[in-house]
Amino acid sequence: MNTSTTENGGSLWSEIIESTRTIFKSHVRHFHAISILFLLPIMFSLILYTSFELAIFYPDYDFTTYTQLQFFAISSFVYALFLAFFFICGVGTTTYSAAQVIYDRPINVVSSIKSMKNSFFPLLSTFIVSQTIFISITLLFALILVFVVRIFQSLGLIELKSDSDHLLFLVIFSLIVLVPILIWLQVNWSLAYVITVVESKKGYETLRRSAKLVKGERWVTLKILMYYEIVIVWMVVWCAMFLARGEQWRSFTGILLTAFTSVMGYILMNQYLVANVVLYMHCKELNDEKLMSETAAGEYVSLPVEEEEKNHDVV
């Protein structure tokens, strides 16, 4: 990537998006295959799980009933494990494949799946550390908010009810404060999974490394994040809300819409992961790190020599 042509954020963003599409199109069957294996289940389940929650459980929810609360907690935990597993596998295989393409090496589905043998647990470590920090910040913010609300209530300054304007104001204010903090962290850690796969690092070390690499390119990173994630979230929410109305999920329109949204969602998710690899390569160039040296390439991709030589024979 020629950094002289990407001096401003807009041109760099355009170049990264264009490079991402080029990489995807040059190996479209490969990326579709690994996406169908790992990313499609995520998109499909997000739509169905959300719509079924709205259509089946919401009208009859009574969180004072222990059985319903217990069922909701268990099902949510199992579903979270499902999402985490497929997300880690999807990130690992897609990142590995994109890195191999950039290093001008042949790729195939089998070698991409086998790469998870080396990267699954490091990716899991990075995932656990990052999500623990996200959840801890959210819980800490919620505790502070509850503490402040209790003080105001004891002073008689506010009165909270389910239909109270004060409650709505507090929810909106909380989101205005909390969401930018979480987005800022996500921007700084956008390259963490790429670093885990390419540089064989893990855990908090990848988060620090990512924050260092994106320094100076945070606006570009934010644009990439917003470009893909806003569209994905909007599609999933809109489709889930449509399916939750009556028996729409059983209709031909509902089935067709679910299939279309799932496919478009996994394509966008795949391209977002590839875009992070392209951004990583650019940030490495800006940090004066050699990109294509033989030693670094073998070190970064973490392939055994025998497997690497075998992959060169595969078209």
Q: Report pLDDT digits (tens) over 272-282.
A: 999 999 999 98
Cβ–Cβ under 8 Å, residues 232 and 214 = no
Distance in angstroms (rounded) separating the CA atoms of residues 93 and 113: 6
Which range, 24-28, 172-176, 290-294, is most confident? Answer: 24-28
In sequence order, the 6+-apart residues with CB closer than 8 A to the CB of 61 are 68
Q: Does pLDDT of 295 surpass 50?
A: no
Tokens standing for residue 21: 């599409």
Instruction: Write down the residue that tokens 């973490």 correspond to.
Output: 302
Beta-carbon count within 10 A of 70 CB: 10
Q: Give tens-digit pLDDT for 176-232.
A: 888 999 999 999 999 999 999 998 888 899 999 999 999 888 899 999 999 898 999
Distance in angstroms (rounded) separating the CA atoms of residues 49 and 252: 19
Closest CA to 34 of 86, 103, 75: 86
Distance in angstroms (rounded) separating the CA atoms of residues 162 and 168: 9
Please tell me whether the overall predicted TM-score, pTM, comes out greater than 0.95 for this model: no
* pLDDT attached to residue 124: 95
Q: Does pLDDT of 3 surpass 90?
A: no
**Number of helical H runs and strand E runs in the chain:** 13, 0
* pLDDT attached to residue 303: 40
Distance in angstroms (rounded) separating the CA atoms of residues 280 and 96: 13
Q: Give tens-digit pLDDT for 231-282.
A: 999 998 888 888 777 666 677 788 888 899 999 999 999 999 999 999 999 8
Mean pLDDT of the 103-127 span? 91
Which range, 2-6, 148-152, 311-315, is most confident? Answer: 148-152
Specify the range with the lowest mean pLDDT, choosing from 34-38, 137-141, 148-152, 285-289.
285-289
Q: Does pLDDT of 311 surpass 50?
A: no
Q: What separation in angstroms does the CA of 157 have from each of 153, 174, 175? A: 6, 18, 21
Distance in angstroms (rounded) separating the CA atoms of residues 200 and 158: 52
